[in-house]
Chains A and B, each alone.
Chain A
Amino acid sequence: MSEVRAAAPPRRRATPAPRGHQSKAALVWRYRWIYALILPTVIYFVLFAYLPMIGLQIAFKDFKVFAGMWESPWVGLEHFRTMFGSEKFPELIRNTLLISFYRILFGFPVPIIFALLLNEVRRMWFKRGVQTVTYFPHFLSWVVFAGIVINILGPTGIVNTLLVNTGGDRINFLTNPDSFRAVLVLTGIMKEFGWGAIIYLAALSSIDPELYEAARVDGARKLRQIWHVTLPGLRPVMAVLLVLSLGGLLDAGFDQVFQLQNGAVLEVGDIIDTYVYRAGLLEAQFELATAVGLFKGVVGLAMIVSANWVLRRMGQRSIW
C-alpha cells in the first residue's frame, strides 16, 4: 500500500581483490559472518512472504477447514468461473479502477502546483510554516483522519453546519453514493498533497539557475519561464510517479476506503481489497476470496512489471 521509487544509485565498490584462486565453497566460508547477518531476514521472508504462497492452492480447491488444504479436493477453475460470472466482480473492478483513475486525474497535479507556488515564496518563515502544517496529516493514520473527515463532512460536521446556516439542507456526503467517490478523492488529496510536494520541491531546487537567466535574456516572462524551464525540469520526477501510479491502479487505497466505507455506499465504494477482507475473513468464503486476491496479485504484478519496463524505455531509473 506504499510504493517505492527507484533506489538511490549504488556506488559500486570495488570487489576485494581475490587472493589467489578460491573455490566458491571457500568464498562462502570466508564470508560466513556476512551470511549469518542476512540469514534471520531470509528466514523471515521465506516464512512470511513465500510460505503463504503455498496457500494459493485453495483458490483451485474445495477447501475443507478440518481436513486441511492438502487433503482438500481439487476443483479446477470453478472458483474463477464463479468470480467472473458474478455480478459483484465487474462492480469491484469498476470501482477500483474508477477510484484509482480519479485519484490520478485530480490528485496528481495538486502537489506539483503546490510545490510551484511554494517555490515562489521568499519569506522563509512563511514557507516553513505552510510546510509544517501541510505535511502533518501524512503522519496520521486513516482511522484518525477518517474521524477528522467525519468531523468535517458528517451530519453534524463543519460543512453541514455552514450549509444549514446559509439556508441549505443537510447532506450526508459519506452515505450518499453520488458523492462518496468524490469524498474519497478529495480527502485523499487533503491528507497527502503537502507530503507529495516534497519530492517536487527537491527537484525544483536542483534546476540550474542559469537556465532562468538564459530564458530571461531571451525575453521570456515569468509564465513562459515556468513553461520552458521549470516544467521540463520536473518532467523526470513526474514521469516516474505517473507511471508508478498507473502500475498500481488496482490498489485503490485500502486504508482510506475501508475506514470511510459504509453499507449505504458499497455499490460505488467496494473495491477489490475491501471485498477480499469481507468475503474471506468475515464471511469465510476462503476459496473465492483467495481467487479474487490471486487475480489481483497476478494482474498487479503484470502492471508493475510493465511500468518498470516503460520507465527503462524512457531512460529513467527503474525500480529494479
Chain B
Amino acid sequence: MVTKPETGETEILRSSQVTSQRSRLERNPWWGDTIIYLVLVFLGLVTLLPMLNVLARSLSSSAAISANPLMLVPYSWTLDAYQYIFETPVLMRSFGITVFVTVVGTALNLLFTTTAAYGLSKTYIPGYRFLMWLVIIPMLFGAGLIPTYLLLKNLGLINSVWVLVIYGLVSPFNLILMRNFFWSIPNEIEESARIDGASDLQVLWHIVLPLSKPVLATIGLFYGVAHWNDFFTGLFFITDSSKWPLQVVMRSIIIDQSMLGMGGGTAPTADLQKLVISADNIRAATIIFSTVPILLAYPFLQRYFVKGIILGAVKG
C-alpha cells in the first residue's frame, strides 16, 4: 500500500472542525445575498415539498388525493392506508425479516470488520501486503452476478434469509476506513498495556474499542442503512416471495403497481392480490412507513456520516 502522505485531506479534517471561522472578509452586496438565499430556498423546497406531498397523500383519502394532488397538508384525514399496511401480512413479514437482517447483519458486520481492521492495522506482521491486496482486489474486480449466483446456489444460500446477512459481510471500504482510524490511535497507549501483560485480544477489547466508539458508530450506521435499504440481494438471490426483505416487497407496491399500466415492470411481482386496490395513498403510506426508521436515525446519521465522509473514504 503505497500512499502519498499529506495531500490535503488531513488538512480538511482539521480545519473542518473550525467551520465557524469565517473565510470571507468581504460582505456580499444585498442583491447578491438575496439571489444566494433565493437559490438555496429553491433547492431546499425542491427536496422538501415532494416529501411533504407524499406524507400528506399518505394521510388523505383517495378521493381527496385526486381532487388535490398538490396537497402539502392532508385533506380529509384518514389512517386507512396505514391500517391497510399493518393488515397486509406480506408487508409485515418482510418488515420483520428486514429488522432481523439489519440487527443481526450489522452486529456481524461490525464483528468481522473490527477484528480484521485491527489485525490489518499491524503493518509489521509477515504477509501484510498480501493480506491487504486480498481485501482490495474485490473492490476492483468482481466475478459478476451469474458466477456469484451459481456459487450461492452450491452453498445452499439461495432462498435462505441468511444470504441477506452473509452476502456483503465485510465491506473493503469500511474495513480500510476503520484500519485508518486504528492507525491514528497513539502507539504508546497499546504498548503500555502490553507491558502490563495484556494479550492482543485484551488490548483490542479493553483499550482500542473503547477509544473507537465514534468510528464504530459511523461504520455501524453505514452497514445498518445499507441493510435497511438493501434491495438487490433479495431480488437476485431470493425467489421465494415469502422470504423477501422489505425493499423488494415495497417495489411491488410502489413501482410495479404503477408500472403495470405503462408497459409492465421488469422485475417479478409478489402475489399481492389484495394490493390491486392500491391507490396513490397506499404507495405514499408505504414510502412513509419504510422511511420512519431512517427518519428516527437521521440525527445520528447526520452527525456520524458527515464525520465518516470527511474521514476521507466513502461516497455511497
A interface residues (Cβ-Cβ under 8 A, vs B): 2-16, 24, 27-28, 31, 33-35, 37-38, 40-42, 44-56, 58, 69, 114, 117-122, 124, 126, 129-130, 132-144, 146-148, 150-152, 154-158, 161-162, 172, 174-175, 190, 193-196, 198-199, 201-207, 209, 212-213, 216, 221-222, 225, 236, 241, 254-255, 258-259, 261-264, 266, 274, 276-278, 280-282, 286, 289-290, 293-294, 296-298, 300-301, 304-305, 312, 315-318, 320
The closest CB in chain B to the CB of A40 belongs to: B112
User: Which residues of A lie under 8 Å from residue B125 when comparing CB positions?
Assistant: 27-28, 31, 34-35
Complex interface residues of chain B between 161 and 178 (CB less than 8 A to chain A): 166-167, 169-170, 172-173, 175-177
Whole-angstrom CA separation of A90 from B228 in the bound complex: 36
Interface residue B15 (Cβ < 8 Å from any Cβ of A): yes
Interface of A is mostly: helix
B interface residues (Cβ-Cβ under 8 A, vs A): 1-16, 18-26, 28, 32-33, 36-37, 39-41, 43-44, 46-48, 50-51, 53-54, 57, 66, 69-70, 112-113, 115-116, 118-120, 122-127, 131, 134-151, 155, 166-167, 169-170, 172-173, 175-177, 180, 183-184, 187, 199-201, 204, 225, 228-232, 235-236, 247, 250-251, 254-255, 258-259, 261-268, 280, 283-284, 286-287, 290-291, 294, 298, 301-302, 306, 309-316
B144 touches A27 (CB 8 A): no
Other CB < 8 Å A-B pairs besides A13-B187, A161-B70, A320-B136, 16 of them? Answer: A13-B123, A41-B116, A53-B147, A56-B143, A139-B229, A143-B251, A146-B255, A150-B254, A155-B261, A205-B15, A209-B25, A255-B231, A276-B145, A304-B140, A315-B7, A317-B4
Whole-angstrom CA separation of A136 from B43 in the bound complex: 13
**Shortest Cβ distance from residue A143 to the other chain B in the assembled complex, whole angstroms:** 5
A157 touches B26 (CB 8 A): no
User: Which residues of B lie under 8 Å from residue A161 when comparing CB positions?
Assistant: 69-70
Whole-angstrom CA separation of A161 from B141 in the bound complex: 46
B19 touches A262 (CB 8 A): no
A33 touches B201 (CB 8 A): yes
B12 touches A222 (CB 8 A): no
Whole-angstrom CA separation of A204 from B285 in the bound complex: 40
B116 touches A294 (CB 8 A): no
Interface of B is mostly: helix
A225 touches B44 (CB 8 A): no
B144 touches A297 (CB 8 A): yes
User: Which residues of B lie under 8 Å from residue A286 when comparing CB positions?
Assistant: 146, 150
A152 touches B264 (CB 8 A): no
The closest CB in chain B to the CB of A33 belongs to: B200
18 contacts between A and B (CB under 8 A): A8-B312, A31-B200, A42-B116, A42-B134, A52-B151, A56-B143, A120-B28, A124-B20, A141-B231, A147-B287, A148-B51, A150-B258, A151-B284, A158-B50, A203-B8, A258-B267, A280-B149, A293-B145
A58 touches B147 (CB 8 A): yes
**Shortest Cβ distance from residue A314 to the other chain B in the assembled complex, whole angstroms:** 10
The closest CB in chain A to the CB of B15 belongs to: A206
Whole-angstrom CA separation of A31 from B176 in the bound complex: 20
A38 touches B116 (CB 8 A): yes
Whole-angstrom CA separation of A286 from B146 in the bound complex: 7
User: Which residues of A lie under 8 Å from residue B43 when comparing CB positions?
Assistant: 114, 130, 134, 193
